[in-house]
Amino acid sequence: MQEDKLCTFDYAIIRLVPRVEREEFFNVGVILSCPGHKFLESRIFLDEDKLKCFAPDVNAETVREYLSVIPKICAGDAEAGVIGRLPQRERFYWLTAPRSTIIQTSPVHTGITDDPRGEIEHLFKTMVG
C-alpha cells in the first residue's frame, strides 16, 4: 500500500464519564480507522488529576485497566478475545458503539488523509493532550 495514497478515515474520541448520571466527561483518547491503509490504532492518556477532580472516589488503576483493552482490540491482540478476532473494520465499529458505561466514545467523524499515523497523533495532541 502506498504511503502517499489519499484515503478516507474515521475517528472517535474516547471519553471518560466517571459519573454517568451527570453526563460530565473528559477526553482520554482517540481511535482512528483508515481501511485504505489497513490502519486501526488508538492513543490513550488518563489524566489522574482530572479524574480526581471529576470523581475522587473512582479508582484510577481500574480505569487504566479498562482503557488498556482498547489498544489490544485495535491490534487484534489475542488478549482481546473474540472481539480481537473480528475483521479490523468491525473492531472499530464495536469500539465506537454507543455505551452507557464510564468509557464512551464521541460520534464517529470522517476525514481524508495520506498519513493515518500522523493524523492520529495530531488528533491526540489536539483533543486529549
Please tell me the pTM assigned to this model. 0.93
**What string of pLDDT tens digits covers the 129 residues of the chain?**
456 799 999 999 999 999 999 989 999 999 999 999 999 999 999 999 999 999 999 999 999 999 999 999 999 999 999 999 999 999 999 999 998 899 999 999 999 999 999 999 999 999 999
122 and 113 Cβ atoms separated by less than 8 Å: no
17 and 50 Cβ atoms separated by less than 8 Å: no
| Cα 84 versus chain centre, distance | 15
